[in-house]
Amino acid sequence: MKFFIDTANLEQIKEAQALGILDGVTTNPSLMAKEGITGEVNIINHYKEICELVEGDVSAEVISTDFDGMVKEGEALAALNPQIVVKLPMIKDGVKACKYFSSKGIKTNVTLVFSAGQALLAAKAGATYVSPFIGRLDDISTDGMNLIKEIRLIYDNYGFETQILAASVRNTMHIINCAKLGSDVMTGPLSAIEGLLKHPLTDSGLATFLADYKKGN
């Protein structure tokens, strides 16, 4: 399973990169705003900086909601760096734009996916990635993980190559469950990724090993 970090925070991206397990980055307009990155020029420069920090795919989201606008924006984003993946919303024009980009060999990430039907459409349109938002489904008392299961089944039934990018990952168990269900990628915060490291028996075991070593020296 690929690990993407879901942030526009450069320090956190560097930290995840330093761990040696990072395969890419996802951003969205809210994550950019959270870091105080506003205005077209600053946003573009920020994408460029992120691409310099990591080797993998970097999702950059369009703001337009009409086909022509999405194509114009997406082409400009894709021209920034081959790592850029054009992130498109799951709306009618987003699906059309996805088909347009995939037929041109430009990578896409169809975002704001909350149903298996939406994921099926994204795959039909040739999306590179589909982003089911599991945390936001959990927020409304719907089983986000079940959506991953359904999409996996559908994609495997037909051999769709679109990668399931589990998004809106909020905690470590989300990551583990996504891995169990065969999600191709997960994107989550650094805290959820670092949570995978932790076990109290690791800490106490290491403390004992170090104490015993000292006794013999």
User: Any residues with CB less than 8 A from the CB of 32 and at least 6 apart, and which?
Assistant: 8, 38, 43, 46
Q: Which residues bind ligand E4P (CB under 6 A)?
A: 6, 26, 28, 31, 111, 131, 133, 135-136, 167-168, 170, 187
Residue type, 217: N
Q: b/e map of 65-88 (b: 16 or more CB within 10 Å)?
A: eeeeebbebbeebbeeeebbbbbb
Q: Which residues are catalytic?
A: 87
Nearer to ligand E4P, 167 or 181 (CB): 167
Q: Is 177 helix (H, G, I), strand (E, B) or coil?
A: helix
In the bound complex, what is the minimum distance in angstroms from residue 112's beta carbon to ligand E4P? 8
What is the number of alpha carbons within 13 Å of residue 73 lying toward its C-beta? Answer: 22
In the bound complex, what is the minimum distance in angstroms from residue 14's beta carbon to ligand E4P? 19
In the bound complex, what is the minimum distance in angstroms from residue 204's beta carbon to ligand E4P? 33
Report, in this order, helix, strand and coil percent for the chain, each rounded to 5. Answer: 55, 20, 30
Residue type, 159: G
Nearer to ligand E4P, 71 or 85 (CB): 85
129 φ/ψ sector (left φ>0, alpha ψ -120 to 50, else beta) = beta
In the bound complex, what is the minimum distance in angstroms from residue 124's beta carbon to ligand E4P? 21
